[in-house]
Amino acid sequence: MGHFRKTYDVSIRLMKRRGLRLAAVMALFVLLAVSLVGAAVPEYELKAAFVYNFAKFVEWPPQALSPASDTLILGVLVQDPESPAFEALQGKKVQGRTLVVKRCRLSELKEVHLLFISAGVSRYLGPALEEIRGLPILTITDEVEGSGPHGIINLVTTGGKVRFQVDAVQARRLGFRISSQLLRLALSVTE
């Protein structure tokens, strides 16, 4: 009976933690999704915060992250006029790793773990996605409309708020596991 009680207690604690974590995640994204019209935070700083939080709720495939490395590299294209907004993420911790923000040329994209491609450099979207095709790199695109190429996560602004779409098919194909908590907050999920 003592073993059952310990197992029950552990199960209850885990459920409480998960519930608290879900509540924290939801609160965080509600705060991030504030109206851009009256927001004190510039749009790309808000989007950088989204990217940082996405990294917290995605599990990379085992072969993507070297156990010997303690960094997670976020690539932003050199040509991106919004890249300074991402510099504030430099040195932050994500899943026990230090986030390194790297301004990249197309030829350097294979060296990153996350890649953000803003609407400001949309002409590089196709070549960038082609360069990393099939590699376990979490791609986050900005304002891609229609059925054209886009990242695993696509940021969209709707009703003056930043939201996101998730391509779960593409994520699974590359070996990523996206938290169900994050998927619940998505505007849409492609299954």
Q: Note whether 102 and 22 are same-domain residues.
A: no
Q: Measured between alpha carbons, how far is residue 33 from residues 39, 44, 50, 59 in Å?
A: 10, 12, 9, 23
pLDDT digits (tens, 9 = 90+) for 73-87: 999 999 988 888 999
Q: Note whether 176 and 119 are same-domain residues.
A: yes
Per mean pLDDT, which range of 31-40, 112-121, 142-151, 158-167 is the poorest? 31-40
CATH number at residue 92: 3.40.50.2300
Range of the domain at 6: 1-32
Mean pLDDT of the chain: 83
Q: Note whether 42 and 68 are same-domain residues.
A: yes
pLDDT digits (tens, 9 = 90+) for 90-113: 999 999 999 999 999 999 999 999
**Confidence category of residue 19, pLDDT binned at 50, 70, 90:** low
Give the total number of structural domains in the chain: 2
Q: Note whether 18 and 89 are same-domain residues.
A: no
pLDDT surpassing 70 at residue 32? no
Per mean pLDDT, which range of 50-64, 138-152, 167-181 is the poorest? 138-152
Farthest-apart Cα atoms in the chain, separation: 65
Contact 143, 155 (CB under 8 A): yes
Q: Note whether 86 and 137 are same-domain residues.
A: yes
Q: Note whether 50 and 11 are same-domain residues.
A: no
Q: Note whether 17 and 53 are same-domain residues.
A: no
pLDDT surpassing 60 at residue 11? no
Residue indicated by tokens 């492609």: 190
pLDDT digits (tens, 9 = 90+) for 123-137: 999 999 999 999 999
